[in-house]
Structure 1
C-alpha cells in the first residue's frame, strides 16, 4: 500500500509517465461521435512519440509505404498493405517512411465494448496490439480499402439508419481483421462467453486498482462472485490465474515507466504501491528475468540502435 510518506512525495514531485492523448475530431460540434475515420494526407516522413489513447481503440490501415511501430519500447517494422491494431491504452509511437498512405479508424471505448460483446473473439482480438499483413493477395488489401471507404460514406451520410449502417460496416471490417489474424475460434459456447465477460470486468477493475495492492477477495467482492468462480473464469478465458493477471498489469506499467519515464527505480516502486524498492526489484526480476535497472538500459539501447528499414530504390 502507498504510505503517507510516499503520498507526500508524489504531491511534491511531478511524475513523468507516458502521455495520454485525446483524439482531435475535425468537427468540433460532434460531441456524440463514436467512430471516426481520418485519411492522413501529410507528405514526407511523419513521426509520433510514444503515447496512449485511454478512451479509444484504433485501427490504422496503411495502404502503401512502410515504417516502424514502437510498442512498449520494442520497435516492430511494418509494410503496407497492413492494419495496425491499437487497443485502448496501448502505448505506441509511429515512424512512417516518406509518403505512407494511411487511414485511421478510431472507435470510442464504450462503443467498442458493445461491438466486442457480439463475438467473444473480438475481446481476444483487442487484448494485444497487432500488425496484420494484408499483402498475401491484392484482393485482401483492396477489400479492406473498400470497407474503409464504405465506413466513411456512412459517417458522412444523413440517410435513414445511419447508425445501423455504420455498425454493420464496422463489424464487417473488424471481422475481416479477426479472420486475417487467424485467432483461435474453437471455444464459443455459452459458458465461455460468460467467462470472457467476467474476465473483461476483472481486467477493468485491475486497471482501476492495480496500484492499491488489494487482496484478491476484494476484486471478487466488487464483482459479486466467489474466488472459485473468478479463478475458474480466468483459467478458462485468459489461461492465467487472477493473481498473475494483476502482476502482469503491474509489470506492464513498470516497463512503460522504466522505458519512457524519468523516475528512479525507487520512485517507480512507491508509485506502484510497493513498500520498498528492494521488494519491487525482486518482484520485477522474478516476473521479467532482469532487474528494473537492467531492463531500462537494455530497452533504451534497443530503441536507439535499431534503424528504419528502407524500401527498394
Structure 2
C-alpha cells in the first residue's frame, strides 16, 4: 500500500485555508493496473507479525477484507471495534478507518472500483443497504460459511487474474454471490421495499453521490432534484422506498458523519468546523449537532478523545 496523503493544511487563492482531517489513500492497484483498467482486485496479505495503519479513507473504491483467522481492532470513524476471524470487514467509499491486526492475521483484501460497485449494488436493494455503513460481519452464522466464503474469494481471485473469455460476467457473478453471503450474515435495517423499482434505487444512489459532493453547501432539496431532473415528489418517494429515509434525513446524516470526523481527527475550532460544513455560525452548528447526536460537539470531542483508541500506531 502506498499513501498519497493530503496535507492537513492546504492553501488556496485568496489566502483561504481548507482543512482536511484524514489522509486520502490510493492503493498500488491504481498504478499497477492503470494501463489495462481495473474494477476488482484481490490481494492476499502475507506480511508476518503485527500490522497497523493510521486512520485513512479511500475516495475511489470500497473494500471487503476477509479475515480467515486471527483478530485485531478497527478504528472505525473514531470508535474502537474488535474483530476476530473468520469475519469480513466491509469498508464503504470514504469510510475513515485504521486497522490494528494482531500477529500473523491471514487476510484477503477485495478492492472494488466505486463505479462498478454502484453498478453491482443496483441489482439488489439489500446491497445498497449493506454498503450504507461500515461493518464487521462474522462468518460463523452458519456451518461452512467461512469455507464457502473463502472458496468464493479464491474463485474470484482466479477469475480476475485469468481475464479469460467472459471474465467480466464471471467476475460480476462471483462478486454478487460474495455480497449476497454478506447480506445474509448481516442484520440489516428492515425497510419495506416491496414494489421498489430499479429506477428508484438508482435515483436514491445518485442522490447519495450528489450529497457527498455538495453536503457542505447547504443546498435546498429543489436544487438536488433539479440536478437529477426529477420533481421533489419523485425524489422523496424514491428515497423513502429505497432507503426508508427522507432526503433531508440523508443530508443530515452525511453532515453528522463529517462533523464527527472533524471533531475526532481534526484540530479545528467549532467556528472552523461550522464554516467547513456550511453552517452560518458555530451556535447553529452546535444546536444541529446536539439535536442529531444528543450531546454538544465539544462534549462529543472530549469523550471521543478520552478513549484508548486515540493512541497513534507505532
TM over 0.5: yes
Correspondence for 2:4: none
How many residues align structurally?
A: 300
SS in structure 1 at match of 2:19: coil
Correspondence for 2:127: 122
Distance 2:129 2:170 in 1: 25
Correspondence for 1:310: none
Q: Is the 8 A contact 1:73 1:303 kept in 2?
A: no
Query: Does 2:297 correspond to 1:282?
Result: no
The one of 87, 91, 95 equivalent to 1:86 is 91
Q: Is the 8 A contact 1:121 1:185 kept in 2?
A: no
Distance 2:176 2:63 in 1: 14
Query: Does 2:208 correspond to 1:209?
Result: no
How do 1:27-42 and structure 2 match up within 5 A? Answer: 28-31=32-35, 32-42=37-47
- The structural deviation recorded for 1:26 is 8.5
Distance 2:138 2:28 in 1: 27
Correspondence for 1:291: 296
The one of 102, 106, 114 equivalent to 1:101 is 106
* Distance change >3 Å, CA 73–CA 154, structure 1 → 2: same
SS in structure 1 at match of 2:62: strand
Correspondence for 2:26: 22
> What does the per-residue CA deviation read over 1:157-212, in whole Å, with 9 as the maximum and x for residues that have no partner?
14222222222211111111111225478855553433322211111111111111
* Distance change >3 Å, CA 169–CA 304, structure 1 → 2: closer
Higher RCO by CA contacts (8 Å cutoff, separation 6 or greater):
1
> What does the per-residue CA deviation read over 1:42-73, in whole Å, with 9 as the maximum and x for residues that have no partner?
11111111111111010000000001111111
* Distance change >3 Å, CA 182–CA 211, structure 1 → 2: closer
Distance 2:218 2:91 in 1: 28
What TM-score comes out, normalization by structure 1 length?
A: 0.89
Larger mean CA deviation between 142-151 and 176-185 belongs to 176-185
* Distance change >3 Å, CA 305–CA 26, structure 1 → 2: closer
How do 1:1-313 and structure 2 match up within 5 A? Answer: 11-25=15-29, 28-31=32-35, 32-137=37-142, 139-183=144-188, 187=192, 189-304=194-309
Q: Is the 8 A contact 1:35 1:105 kept in 2?
A: yes
- The structural deviation recorded for 1:280 is 1.1
Distance 1:237 1:162 in 2: 30
SS in structure 1 at match of 2:65: strand
Correspondence for 2:5: none
- The structural deviation recorded for 1:13 is 3.3
Distance 2:83 2:194 in 1: 35
Larger mean CA deviation between 218-227 and 183-192 belongs to 183-192
- The structural deviation recorded for 1:104 is 0.2
Distance 2:307 2:111 in 1: 30
Q: Which runs of 4+ in 1 moved over 6 A?
A: 7-10
RMSD after superposition: 2.3
Q: Is the 8 A contact 2:196 2:242 kept in 1?
A: no
Distance 2:310 2:273 in 1: 25
The gaps in structure 2 that reach 5 residues or longer are 1-10
Q: Is the 8 A contact 2:40 2:113 kept in 1?
A: yes
Q: Is the 8 A contact 2:75 2:97 kept in 1?
A: yes
